[in-house]
Amino acid sequence: MKIGELGDRCGVTAKTIRYYESIGLLDEPTRTASGYRDYGDDAVKRLRFIRDAQATGLTLSEIASVLELKSTGERSCSHTTALIEQHVASIDAQMRQLADARRELTLLADRAKRLDPASCTDPNRCQVISDERHMA
Amino acid sequence: MKIGELGDRCGVTAKTIRYYESIGLLDEPTRTASGYRDYGDDAVKRLRFIRDAQATGLTLSEIASVLELKSTGERSCSHTTALIEQHVASIDAQMRQLADARRELTLLADRAKRLDPASCTDPNRCQVISDERHMA
DNA sequence: CTACGGATTCCAGTCGAGTGGAAGGTCAAG
DNA sequence: CTTGACCTTCCACTCGACTGGAATCCGTAG
């Protein structure tokens, strides 16, 4: 299968595939006589795994390190699990941050709604955002 | 107040302040006779607002558009509220994504723990990540 | 006077994950 | 035989939010 088809099957562009290859995330495939990249079904699996892993928020370099574990096979699965667990922890941290931000913003929005819209006329102030009581 | 003091008061570097000015997020302040930027207390408020807004996940260009609303004063607060509400929606989307990712990853980790670590010996496979049943 | 901490400008680089485009080679259809 | 879709390489650029560093100037303490 050529690069375009692989891309279509996995939902990425040919350019992205070449990019992944360039950073070592995908192995160099065999080539046809005319120099075209020629992929097997393994490539589909691998590329889909990359996409899946990426969807969970792993960076490409984290994914690369997981895939490296696969290929060396030397280190145990515990390396992989450690990476995953670490990542779950960072997701939790991100979620906490977002929750905080959300609370802040809804507070802000609520305040905005309570204000008389007609009173927002001072060209140098928007009450929603420049209220002193709100400013840290 | 000079740039360093302003930075200290707001928890940013002088470099960041100049950067904000360069992208139009902060107005050009008056200068001392010797060319130093000379800020008033307004700058502290504005910069702190920027930091606060940023902490909630707004990008600098979103913040810029909110601050623009302030300075033109033409459009009503509803513009600001709309932006905020839109941002809250995007936070919710992010949180859903993270929750999905988290579920995926913990599944993966659980599977990893259930596997006999000693069985992870095939140099070309890490069972945690290359199990066909898991692959989309 | 000199040293030192801050200030100034401007240009360049970082990270992550690609994307754009030029210049050219290949293959199947009409 | 030409057209058009697809492939190749390579180099440069994007976005966001800074950060680093060079060269130079200002202000004050010793």
pLDDT digits (tens, 9 = 90+) for B33-69: 999 999 999 999 999 989 888 876 778 988 887 777 6
Same domain, A34 and A86: no
Same domain, A64 and A95: no
- Return the exposure string of B67-91: e unless at least 16 CB atoms fall within 10 Å of the residue's CB, then b: bebbeeeeebbebbbebbbebbeeb
Indicate the number of domains in chain A. 2
Q: Are residues B35 and B90 in the same domain?
A: no
Contact call for residues A51 and A11 (beta carbons, < 8 A): yes
Read off the tokens for A123.
Answer: 């060209």
Orientation of helix B3-10 relative to helix B41-55, angle to 10° = 40
The reply to whether B5 and B57 lie within a common domain is: yes
Asked whether residue B63 falls in the same domain as residue B24, the answer is yes
Q: Is residue B120 situated within a structural domain?
A: yes
pLDDT (0 to 100) of residue B124: 40
Domain end: B28, B46, B75, which one?
B75
Between chains, do B71 and A102 touch, taking CB under 8 Å as contact?
no
Residue B56 and residue B7 share a domain: yes
Map residue A30 onto helix, strand or coil: strand
* Contact state of A73 with B115 under an 8 Å Cβ cutoff: no
On whether both B106 and B126 belong to a single domain, the answer is yes
pLDDT value, residue A102: 81
Look at residue A43 in the predicted model and tell me its pLDDT. 96
B89 and B24 in a single domain? The answer is: no
Q: Which of residues 23-52 of A touch B (CB under 8 A)?
A: 45, 48-49, 51-52
Kindly state whether residues B61 and B109 are assigned to the same domain: no
Proximity of residue B32 CB to strand D below 7 A: yes
Q: Which domain holds residue B125?
A: 85-136
Residue B70 lies in a domain: yes
A31: pLDDT strictly greater than 60:
yes
Domain boundary among B24, B56, B75: B75
Supply B64's token pair: 């810029």
Q: Which of B49, B75, B101 is the last residue of a domain?
A: B75
Q: Is residue B38 part of a domain?
A: yes
Element (H, E) at B43: helix B41-55
Q: Give the Å distances, CA to CA, from B73 to A60, A123, B45, B95, B105.
A: 44, 4, 18, 33, 47
A100 to chain B: closest CA residue: B56
Asked if strand D contacts B22 at the CB level, meaning under 7 A, the answer is no
Find residues whose C-beta atom lies within 7 angstroms of strand C: A 12-13, 15-16, 19, 32-36, 54, 59-61; B 2-5, 7, 14, 18, 35-37
- Rounded to whole angstroms, what are the CA distances from B106 to A53, A67, A87, A88, A97? 12, 18, 10, 7, 20
More confident residue, B33 or A125: B33
Q: For residue A72, list chain B residues with Cβ-Cβ distance below 8 A.
A: 123
**CB contact A102 to B (< 8 Å):** yes
How far apart, in Å, do the first and last CA atoms of chain B sit?
A: 59
CA pair distance B17, B15, nearest whole angstrom = 5
Q: For residues A58 and A92, state if they share a domain.
A: no
A87, A126: one domain: yes
